[in-house]
Amino acid sequence: MLASRHGARLKPEKGAVAETAVVRSAGKVLVLAVPHTYMNDSGMAVRVLARRYVGEDASRIVILHDELDLEPGVVRLKEGGGIAGHNGLRSIGQHLHTRDFIRVRIGVGKPAGRAAGVDHVLSRPGRKEREVLDIARETAADAVEVLVSDGVVAAMNRFNCRT
């Protein structure tokens, strides 16, 4: 979505196990990436791209991910911290040797009853939930742009408020 907003297309990046697009937002260069690995191995792609584009400063990395602990459609930002059992975040933390990256958390809600979280996030959402998640994707893209233009504190103040 961010690539599209800036007239770019994601393309395979040699040696990165990911598709990337380089765009400018608020006068800054952004490298957008979608790993081609399984989510549980996404740290491999992030590590390569981090070395190539940001060096050791993990605070310049923004990861957008699903979040079981948030209601569907809720978007929140977070700096560092725990991973709440998210295997993709675990992989990224292990490969970067830090959890100091910024996260844009997109709520998908907890599964009903005793259903496994993995089955919940891999299942196809119903029509109503898809509509909510489509709005959340737009909001998450907005959050990244505010983060880039105004900084993490301003983005957190704007997007982490209760509505």
Which CATH number is 2-159 given?
3.40.50.1470
Provide, rounded to the nearest whole percent, the portion of the chain with pLDDT above 90: 72
What average pLDDT score do residues 117-123 get?
Answer: 61
CA nearest to 108, candidates 73, 83, 62: 73
Q: Is residue 103 helix, strand or coil?
A: strand
What average pLDDT score do residues 60-66 get?
Answer: 95
Q: Is the pLDDT of residue 117 over 90?
A: no
d(CA 7, CA 59): 26
- According to the model, what pLDDT value does residue 54 have? 93
Nearest-10 Cα torsion for 106, 111, 112, 113: -140
d(CA 51, CA 48): 5
Asked whether 101 and 63 are in contact (CB, 8 A), the reply is yes
CA gyration radius, the chain: 15
Listed by start position, the domains of the chain span 2-159
- According to the model, what pLDDT value does residue 88 have? 93
Q: What is the pLDDT of residues 84-100, one digit of tens each?
A: 888 899 999 999 999 99
Dig out the tokens for 69 from the structure. Answer: 């602990």
